[in-house]
Structure 1
Amino acid sequence: MRKARWFWPLALALLVADCASKRVVESHLAVGEPHPLMGNVVRFTLSYNTNAAMGIQLGGNERRLVLSLLTIAALGVLAYLYRRTHASERLRVIGVALVSGGALGNLLDRLRSSAGVVDFIDVGVRNVRFWTFNVADMGITIGALLLLLALGRWGGVAQQGG
């Protein structure tokens, strides 16, 4: 089985879903106005994030450039990891694909507009809300978890002898 059979369709599907969902949300929602999907637990609330992942703040006017360069560097690391991954390591291939597609989606947002990355998925209960995120963020998170699982599964992490 070729690893490209999993990688490219997943990475591109995530990228397309992310970009399309952001454009739909931007064209139909006003910034900061919540639209409930599942009561008040899940709702769509358009916001623009100029910070890093999960709202982590970086100072300075160069924030957009720094975050874009960091993302490009991360994509380089992911390309290296992809090349070093054997086709039989399906979990690792899928993880790299999801993180890559998500990173590209958020990078395109940063390059497209100085307003920031479009976030809109708003989850929480009453006044306790998770940070607002997007489809790319879901891919990055799920992909990173799969990579962690793959590292342990294929000996990428030192095993304790017993």
Structure 2
Amino acid sequence: MQIVIQQAAFDPGAMLNQFTASSAGAGAVVSFTGLVRDEEGRLSALEIEHYPAMTERAIGNILAEAHRRWQLSQGLVIHRYGRLQPGEPIMMVATAARHRAAAFAAADFLMDYLKSRAPFWKKEISAAGSSWVAAKDSDEAALQRWS
């Protein structure tokens, strides 16, 4: 299980190749890469803040939970912080398991957690100013299905 919290950009393809190569014995690898989204064409940047020890501990706990629930052979969470531009990779989740259903479910579980509970604070910056991104009810609802 690996957690990478970094400011630097990463290459999702290279990371997936590395992850897959380290997943000997798995029958399935699932990955998801999130990009900085600019739905209305007005976002200049997204700034992400976090407290390193808190963030790594929280993500480590949920990655361990995914491992227990779905018997993952490998798990990876990469999340960036700092100033990011629209279209840049912001995060990646990869899971490896004996069977595809477990790999898909674990990746979905991890994404729902990261969207609603991971201790990151996001600020959208545009020509009109900046504002903190509020939690969404839909993200909370998605997380509830794993209870």
The two structures have a TM-score, normalised by structure 1, of: 0.33
The two structures have a TM-score, normalised by structure 2, of: 0.35
Name the one with the larger strand percent: 2
Name the one with the larger helix percent: 1
The structure having more radius of gyration, on CA atoms, is: 1
